[in-house]
Structure 1
């Protein structure tokens, strides 16, 4: 399976992921988030009506209304309310959406989707199995800019409608949890016959809002769908603004051009909300982004597990948390996916032991090794974490330096292959997403027979208990001899008017679900 740059960006912190549900919790309003959350922030009942303007990181002229290839937070936030997914995740667990079940065959080589009754498209026509078959076919269509990751698991060309609301989907490999696979991929359903999503063209979804206007890289205006199967929205209109600069997003709220600014940096949050009636909100502990370094095991010295363990013992996690998160986070236990189902939360945080680290480096023949830590501020604080970790590694005799590149060059394959470590963020994605996508890049992957067996079982088994054991085994391998150093988990922060309510985390706090957004009564 080949990982495209778009999928890589979705995998990294700002553009992918899933887990906790519920309203976003509010952090302190004027002096930064270190004082803790304000109880009930953003969870008050919403009145009907009004226009909510929300600023997200955009994708410039490349923004799209196509939910199958969306990757910027603006694209994704907009797409979540125009198009519905087959399954989503709430509280890190699979929840039904357009599909109410995905029943695997005994051999896990196919499954049957059963769709929700009574769902209509924005044009009033009913959702049917033919729409899902069309959507699956589009995943591998030659007209698509790249194939979906799902095509590595599903034999989409052989999917067939077996009834008005049932679809049989054969698989290329055993899939024991098809609902989890589809939820992790955040697969939206598009209407049969839809082949393009050009600006100005009518766009039909099943979501709580309909597209009224769209200017790529600028804004989208969405209007309420009163026939929505999940209940009518609260707001009359949503305006999703594309604003790449985080300071500009915050200024839009402070200046009255927006009511909500997504994903503001820790330094900006530390200065406070900036005016009465505004507050800084954190998305909660289970939506924190994991910050870490992925070691390139295709290069020496990290082909040796002793060298990998030496770096895990050398990192000063608390120093990184203090200097990078500024109080908005906590230390990590070397595993990505905190908040996701099956996450090994009981895995202890490894303590710092410089003497042991030096001994392991000597045993691995890696004393004085030159190391390059590749980074870009694709996620706020990555560059500073790379520079600080380089300092910490020099304390055990390694010749380490940070290699800072532009975000557009972050996932360049040649650049990754030549680097020894990659500063890497990951949100609370399902473990299948974290392990399967990251393995697609040789320089990010970790080849280990015990890990491969655990992942094969986790993906294939129909038994939830066996699946849980397999995921715990996979994570145990990673903490014993893997190539991750997850030193901390940072809060996902937003700046908002205190009256904004109903914003829910489904896929990710960086592009929350806006279907119930509105203003408190």
Structure 2
């Protein structure tokens, strides 16, 4: 089967005249195919985004996401933004992915089995083929993981794959991999499900991904214009069943208002990440559907611990005591969420819910600042309209900090480069995360070698606790180690986690198959191979 060919240019959307939308997208997209009718299926509840009728085949769905500008890539190992993850999911597969309960579910791996010591795992692959017709083999898996683990590269999943001894791991036959681990690892399935751990052919080269990407996913590439539009078509040979849609287009619209206006105007059928005020305005209006993924997104402020003033744990604790979390949820999220306790993963397995809920205590905050010699603390808080609630939370927190004598200067950065900018620069920034297991949050963000360690939290004893947890076979004993780690983070950690927001999507009335119980970053989130147009 020949590889797909495509162009890298995009012609403007016919009929796309909304000024705000054009400004955000650069007139992205190709001319739209005719869509099937958008009337509700008879017998379906009008506000139910799922359809209990028969899926229909055909049509093009256009999905608007905030993007990363001209630097966007289809290299799945460089996935960082939600738009990147959604495109990667459409083109590629992982060995496993997270279910709605954050447990690992088989994908390209049909099964896995450890030895008695938990330091060798046998992984069997299902029969699947890449877009060029070649089978997905054990050698492709090993090539993909070795590419991700390259120390010269900054691939996000590198830290998650750290437990694997890739030099010793081997293909025992075409569809079986024996992973040899550096230490016993009870939660190895989470490694296979890690964000960005996609499988590519062993023949893939860096220059191919944006021009001729070959994955095993449900869609094939038609065209890619970075920062503007990505057009895909159905992969009829997909191992998990061909998608219902003929075509899928990702349109970049960084402004939330642009995504909403495009949805209301019929230029797109799916708008990712709407803010709570928008949801309230349109929830009962009948023109579009609002889908809420409850408490899916961690909302926080990230403090750089390798530089003043946050290299002093007393200053970090002071900021945690400054925060009025209920006011932040009300003011920044319009009440669409619940308060946090400076720990990731509320409600997930291993979450330390026995720790006392931190409340605002301005007197104690001032005392800590005085002990640290920081009574007249002045800090800059980086934010951006790149995510719902960011600019609002910065303004609310600025006013709260002033009550403790802290001067906060809010600095608004570029939507296109914000995540890259705050990774190494600044001292305090607005930060968020979608769903992932707690151990993945720890491995990707809080270990010395984590590639997305935006807080520069680097402690060898903390790294050792993580390795101890991963090597502990008994779940109760493993939970106790995670509890120790979370107690330390609660006391002096680098994240002021003030809330967990609802994740809000908007769709046209005729869109079906959206899974409302799928938190962001999980298997059924942005799973467009299961979506259809009624």
TM range (shorter): 0.7 to 0.9
Rounded to whole Å, the distance in 2 between the matches of 1:138 and 1:414 is: 22
Q: 1:454 aligns to what?
A: 465
Residue 242 in structure 1 maps to residue 252 in structure 2? yes
Quick one: structure 1 residues 333 and 202, their matched pair in 2 at CA, closer, same or farther if it must change by over 3 Å?
same
Q: Is the 8 A contact 1:66 1:197 kept in 2?
A: no
Q: 1:262 aligns to what?
A: 272
Of residues 160, 175, 195, the one that matches 2:170 is 160
1:183-218 Cα shifts (integer Å, max 9, x gaps): 123411112322256489554332222333433333
Q: 1:55 aligns to what?
A: 64
Q: 1:517 aligns to what?
A: 531
Q: Is the 8 A contact 1:136 1:157 kept in 2?
A: no
Cα shift at 1:231: 2.9
Quick one: structure 1 residues 43 and 292, their matched pair in 2 at CA, closer, same or farther if it must change by over 3 Å?
farther
Rounded to whole Å, the distance in 1 between the matches of 2:335 and 2:46 is: 16
Cα shift at 1:350: 1.6
Cα shift at 1:434: 1.9
Rounded to whole Å, the distance in 2 between the matches of 1:283 and 1:442 is: 26
Q: Is the 8 A contact 1:451 1:473 kept in 2?
A: no
Aligned runs of 1:275-290 on 2, under 5 Å? 276-285=286-295, 287=296, 289-290=297-298
Quick one: structure 1 residues 170 and 480, their matched pair in 2 at CA, closer, same or farther if it must change by over 3 Å?
same
1:313-359 Cα shifts (integer Å, max 9, x gaps): 22111111111111222211211223543223454432222233333
1:227-262 Cα shifts (integer Å, max 9, x gaps): 433233222322222222322222221111211111
Rounded to whole Å, the distance in 2 between the matches of 1:142 and 1:314 is: 39
Quick one: structure 1 residues 310 and 144, their matched pair in 2 at CA, closer, same or farther if it must change by over 3 Å?
closer
1:397-456 Cα shifts (integer Å, max 9, x gaps): 23333333334255447963x52x332212222223322232347771445676444322
Quick one: structure 1 residues 476 and 204, their matched pair in 2 at CA, closer, same or farther if it must change by over 3 Å?
same
TM-score (norm 1): 0.81
Quick one: structure 1 residues 320 and 129, their matched pair in 2 at CA, closer, same or farther if it must change by over 3 Å?
same
Aligned runs of 1:325-336 on 2, under 5 Å? 325-336=333-344
Q: Is the 8 A contact 2:96 2:193 kept in 1?
A: yes
Aligned runs of 1:228-377 on 2, under 5 Å? 228-272=238-282, 276-285=286-295, 287=296, 289-300=297-308, 302-377=310-385
Secondary structure at the aligned position of 1:437 is classed as: helix
- Between 1:311-320 and 1:509-518, the stretch displaced more is 509-518
Rounded to whole Å, the distance in 2 between the matches of 1:360 and 1:85 is: 46
Quick one: structure 1 residues 397 and 147, their matched pair in 2 at CA, closer, same or farther if it must change by over 3 Å?
closer
Residue 476 in structure 1 maps to residue 487 in structure 2? yes
Cα shift at 1:518: 0.8
Cα shift at 1:42: 3.1
Quick one: structure 1 residues 395 and 272, their matched pair in 2 at CA, closer, same or farther if it must change by over 3 Å?
same
1:91-144 Cα shifts (integer Å, max 9, x gaps): 21111111133444555544332212x323334443321221232233356996
Quick one: structure 1 residues 61 and 314, their matched pair in 2 at CA, closer, same or farther if it must change by over 3 Å?
closer
Quick one: structure 1 residues 347 and 186, their matched pair in 2 at CA, closer, same or farther if it must change by over 3 Å?
farther
Return 5+ residue gaps in structure 1 as ranges. Answer: 1-36
Q: Is the 8 A contact 2:424 2:454 kept in 1?
A: no
- Between 1:156-165 and 1:167-176, the stretch displaced more is 167-176
Residue 395 in structure 1 maps to residue 403 in structure 2? yes
Q: 1:94 aligns to what?
A: 104
Cα shift at 1:161: 0.7
Cα shift at 1:460: 2.9
Q: Is the 8 A contact 2:169 2:178 kept in 1?
A: yes
Secondary structure at the aligned position of 2:233 is classed as: strand
Q: 2:435 aligns to what?
A: 428
Rounded to whole Å, the distance in 2 between the matches of 1:131 and 1:199 is: 15
Q: Is the 8 A contact 1:57 1:244 kept in 2?
A: yes
Rounded to whole Å, the distance in 2 between the matches of 1:152 and 1:448 is: 17
Cα shift at 1:395: 0.9
Please report the RMSD computed on the Cα atoms of aligned residues, expressed in angstroms.
3.3
**Number of equivalences:** 479
Q: 1:112 aligns to what?
A: 122
Rounded to whole Å, the distance in 1 between the matches of 2:305 and 2:147 is: 36
Q: Is the 8 A contact 2:386 2:418 kept in 1?
A: no
Cα shift at 1:84: 1.3
Secondary structure at the aligned position of 1:492 is classed as: strand
Rounded to whole Å, the distance in 2 between the matches of 1:414 and 1:294 is: 10
Of residues 474, 479, 496, the one that matches 1:463 is 474
Rounded to whole Å, the distance in 2 between the matches of 1:476 and 1:145 is: 30
Residue 129 in structure 1 maps to residue 138 in structure 2? yes
Rounded to whole Å, the distance in 2 between the matches of 1:506 and 1:301 is: 35
- Between 1:204-213 and 1:492-501, the stretch displaced more is 204-213
Rounded to whole Å, the distance in 2 between the matches of 1:200 and 1:370 is: 44
